[in-house]
Amino acid sequence: MTDPFSSLLIGLLLGFSLTIPPGPMNALIVARSIRSIRAGVLTGLGAMSADLVLGILVYALRTEVDLHSFVRPIDVLGAIAMSYLGWRIIAGARAPAPAPLDPATTFSQAFGVGVTNPLQILWWLTAGLAFAYLGGIVLFAGIFAAIAVWIVVFPIAVHAGTRRFPRADRWITIGSGLVLFGFAAYFLVQAL
C-alpha cells in the first residue's frame, strides 16, 4: 500500500479498532474519568504509551523471537495486574470520597496494565504486525492519531455523563472493577 492517504485512513480505522471495544483498559479509563477528566486522559496516555512500546517491540522482534510462545505467561501477568486494579477500583468505590491519585501513579498503573494486557499484546501480534508491513510509518501515525482522539474524547464523555447522573458514578466504578475481574478470570482460564 503506497498511497499515504489510504495508509492514514486504514491506520485511523485500526487505531479505533484497538481503542473503542470494551475491554480492561476502557474499564480503567471509565473508573478514572469519573473522578476527573485529567485522570481519565492520563490513564489513556499510559495505555497509549504501552501501545507504543508494544508496537515497537513486536515490530522489532518480529523475525527474532517466536512471540507466540509468550502467550501463557502474558495471560497470567495480565490476570494478576487486572485483579489488582479491579480490587483497588472496587475498594475505592466503597470509600466516601476516593482520594485522587497523583498523576505519576495514574499514568504508571495504566501503562502497567497496558503492557501486560493480553488483548493489547494479541492485537499488536496480529493486526498491528500484519498491517505494519503494508502501511509503514503513515499507518502507525493514523493508529496513534485515533488513540489520541479516543483518550481525550472518551474521558470527557464519561465525566460529563456521570455529572449528569451523579448517583450512577459509584455503580459505574464498581462495574468497571468487575469488568477487570472478569477479564482477569478470562485470561487465567486461557493460560490454564
Residue 42 has pLDDT above 90, yes or no: yes
- Phi, psi for 142 (deg, rounded to 5): -65, -40
| Domain count within the chain | 1
In a domain, 39, yes or no: yes
Q: List the grid coordinates of 163.
A: 455529572
- Say yes or no to pLDDT of 46 above 90: yes
**C-alpha angle 22-161-165 in degrees, rounded to nearest 5:** 120
177 pLDDT tier (thresholds 50, 70, 90): confident
The reply to whether 63 falls in a domain is: no
Name the grid cell of 105: 501513579
CA distance 36 to 104: 15
142-170 b/e with 16+ CB inside 10 Å = b? bbbebbeebbeebbeebbeebeeeeeebe
d(CA 191, CA 186): 9
Average pLDDT over the chain, rounded to whole?
79
**Residue 20 within any structural domain of the chain:** yes
For residue 14, what are the domain limits?
4-57+70-191
In a domain, 65, yes or no: no
In single-letter form, the type of residue at position 189 comes to V
Residue 38: is its pLDDT beyond 90? Answer: yes
Most confident of 28-37, 77-86, 99-108: 28-37
Mind listing the pLDDT tens digit for each residue in 55-77? 888 777 766 666 566 667 777 77
- Tell me which range, 20-24, 46-50, 91-95, is most confidently predicted by mean pLDDT: 46-50
Residue 175 resides in a domain? yes
pTM of the model: 0.73
In a domain, 9, yes or no: yes
Q: Is the pLDDT of residue 91 over 90?
A: no
Give residue 96's pLDDT: 56
| Confidence band, pLDDT 50/70/90 cuts, at residue 152 | very high
Identify the pLDDT of residue 62. 63
Give me the mean pLDDT over the 111-125 stretch.
82
Which of 12 and 165 is assigned the larger pLDDT? 12
